[in-house]
Amino acid sequence: MAVVDHAGRVRPTPRRSWLGAIADLSETRYWAYWLLVPALVLILAVVLYPTVWGIGLSFREMRLNRLDLGTGFVGLKHYRALVEDPIFWLSLQNTVIWTVTACVGELLLGLAVALLLNREQRGFRVAAVLILLPWFLPNVVAGHMWALMLDPRLGVVNDLLVKVGILSTYKAWFADPNWAMAAALLVEIWHGFPFFALLLLAGLKAIPQDLYEAAAIDGAGPLTRFRYVTLPQLKTIIVASVVLRVISLVNSPDILLILTGGGPGRSTMVLSLYAFLKVNKEFNFGYGSALAVVLFVLLMVFSYLYVRLANVMKD
């Protein structure tokens, strides 16, 4: 390319800086897509690639301590084994019990606490911070702390229950398959309810006071106001927080790992813990990945149906 100057001489086009090239590009319709590239690369690298790789692993033989078996493609072998595996079905059942009970318990307790803290009373701000404390505790710390509190020899809970006459002797909560899940759920609900309390409290603060005043003028009592004003206004937050919490409960076996290790006799074994044990104790990455894929699909289906159901109700 060349340009002609004012005297009619032909001169080469001056070399443009890279900044100039970018400036030109920014004027085009593709500029927005270029701006998305860094974020896209990051997402591909840290989200999509590991997910796809993990799914691919579930179709391959991958036992880290049996590399002699190779790492070839085995098709649906792990999924077939999974269908015939009674521990998988037990874990699935336990996962549903664990997730539903913990989520409902945390939601109800969180809602009650949020409603309480929404009142403008002296000292409630301090109480709000204190109530959030369990959520700040890492799962590992909370698990060990409760393991000690529920200990059949040294635990303060047994001591209190015996003193008030509810128990005649100390109970080994985590050694009894009829009680182990319930005791672990108590710990999980205690640990997780501030999550709901925090989000719901934020939602309650955002509800316009006019709505309550209008309802009161129409003769609505506290329960009616709660049903027709508070709950509908909180619905979006409830839906979002339940989805987030269910995902977290299904995926994080740490509290159960610390309190029971899935026992006694697998009575508290959940799918995420089973997958963890398959990978980290048996080094069977293929089977562990198949379990993880099943969890992934179940969570996708749940999230889709739940959000859709919530929208249908709204309509």
**Binding footprint of other proteins on the chain (CB under 8 A):** 64-67, 151-154, 172, 174-177, 180, 260-267, 269, 277-284
Residue with Cβ nearer other proteins (21 or 148) = 148
Residue with Cβ nearer other proteins (91 or 241) = 91
* Residue 85 φ then ψ, to 5°: -90, 110
Token pair of 294 as six digits: 């099943």
CB of 91 to other proteins, least distance (A): 12
CB of 25 to other proteins, least distance (A): 27
CB of 251 to other proteins, least distance (A): 16
Distance from C-alpha of 136 to C-alpha of 155, rounded to nearest angstrom: 23
CB of 282 to other proteins, least distance (A): 4
Token pair of 252 as six digits: 């994080």
With 0-12 / 13-18 / 19 or more C-beta atoms within 10 angstroms meaning exposed / middle / buried, residue 166 is exposed
CB of 77 to other proteins, least distance (A): 12
Helix (H, G, I), strand (E, B) or coil at 91: helix
Find out whether 191 and 259 touch, Cβ atoms under 8 Å: no
Is the peptide bond preceding residue 264 cis, with omega within 30 degrees of 0?
yes
Residue with Cβ nearer other proteins (152 or 220) = 152
Residue with Cβ nearer other proteins (132 or 186) = 186
Tokens 């019990």 correspond to 97
Token pair of 201 as six digits: 């409290």
CB of 235 to other proteins, least distance (A): 40
Residue with Cβ nearer other proteins (104 or 154) = 154
- DSSP H helices, 86-208, are 86-117, 124-136, 139-149, 156-163, 180-205
Token pair of 53 as six digits: 């790789």
Residue with Cβ nearer other proteins (9 or 163) = 163
CB of 269 to other proteins, least distance (A): 8
Of 135, 140, 267, nearest in space to 201 by CA: 135
Distance from C-alpha of 135 to C-alpha of 245, rounded to nearest angstrom: 12
Residue with Cβ nearer other proteins (267 or 303) = 267
